[in-house]
Structure 1
């Protein structure tokens, strides 16, 4: 008699449990969406994509407009400018080529390629890929009106002897880009497509603008009510020209940084090892020790251990990611406004364990330069 009663009871409990789980997930998602709307309103964000993963758990949220008062809503496939998150993709491409024996980490780049902008710069022949990836080249972030022809013709100057200090530099990444192009006899676009986008299955990412992106591209904004012109970078730049989505960039982080897919095990470990100190300003700051440089990526050292992060700032866009390899936890956010960085800490507190110090934001409020 007991067994006869137990069987139909179990049949009732199982679907009811599934219903409760689905209902709980729905309520959770609705609460998150309300919080995201609140953050967007507080900060003044026209449109945003957020992706969060932890292990097999995946969440994706979109809100707002591609362009203020256009009624053209952001969706999960809307392309945002990844800005300096491009540098992490470029770093992975470099390591792929290093694993093939095409370039070394500590060999001066001018031994591979005579960069004309450094031809009369004393000490320029000391710059290595390691110095580029840890921002210790001595080069300014940008020298000239990037990406104009006059910028490309502008000679580069050193602010200090390469390898002796820290200064965030996009120029260094562009120098590395042209070096890789020279070594492989391939465009940087082709290199990124062959070494990163295609093997990792990043079907919603482009390293440079093409007109097919226009139908679903986010506009940058000076502020909530002041949109910029649609940004169309016609020439690749390893420092800032990636167009992507939060979901696609999350896939890159999970595969390339957490799993080390496509890299030798030793190379993957090298990429995530502390390689140099960072500096908030000209003089060392006590908080610098919490955000040292790995190769091509920044570390966050806090109560919860080690995380890896990077931020991006293009005209009209702010973005960031942070990832915890130990727990396979990643948060990626793209925002289409110059004023987006105050949302960074709010988003980390919303999705991550908020009983930790978020040095990724607190160090320089998201800015790297």
Structure 2
């Protein structure tokens, strides 16, 4: 195995700050909002997570690629990040289950990768100055030309991205003879969410992001699910209306991440863009009902307004983030509806919150009993 070819490369932030590194493989130029993930494992799941669409990912773990790749770790059908920035990119991997190296995996996706970057300094800078757009390049060295190209990149605030990652046609997941049927709105759904539902006896029909409630209802589901996904929730007017219609119907509803934000907006609670978001697999959450802490996997740059939530008589906060007190979970006080800002399906991450899928199943079963 030969050494990776590495060309000089530049990372330029929107505020003019420059970091230097090396382009892995063919290099190129990529733009997007820069963000960082603090997970020590799970890079393939992160790179294929649709929620990261349009973002340049900085990995805080010092070594990336050291355990290779395998098809089982994909969370979608392709790499979704806009680019990758890391410290050490390894061409050598050691894992019995690995089917190939990360370089080959990313090269097939034409992803621009920068290594040998001082990621400690970069992440510290993002923490202090907030998430912002960036450009990475190995074939453009003129700073003014990079600034010009970067100036054309839209802000993540107000940006609708679910349409870029959602399925184009409805599809099914699970056993068609399963006892429970769920209609899921795909705003950028992860495979592990579907696996968690299917393993609990759920047959899911997954619908494109712009599907109407009437079409989702035609599946005659026992409950509804609103998925995770990228971008700002506010432009998702159809998804917000779907959530309103489901609430009006009184059917069981569960939302994760972007779906959680959509449910908040459907109840008149605003969302806001965070300073640099929560992205990692060790975020501490307080479960208000149990009084116990949970370690969770998170990936979001927007959050639900806590003050407005506390003032809303129809909604109660069920979980909050222990680092900054942001809203991490909601429930409707009179409707069978709840949501969380984090990822109970993990992939990667801990399993502290998988009980939420059981909670959804129990909610569906109890609702079926009442209406029987």
Report the TM-score when normalising by structure 1: 0.29
Structure of greater Rg: 1
More relative contact order, 1 or 2 (CA 8 Å, 6+ apart): 1
More helix by share: 1
More strand by share: 2
Report the TM-score when normalising by structure 2: 0.29
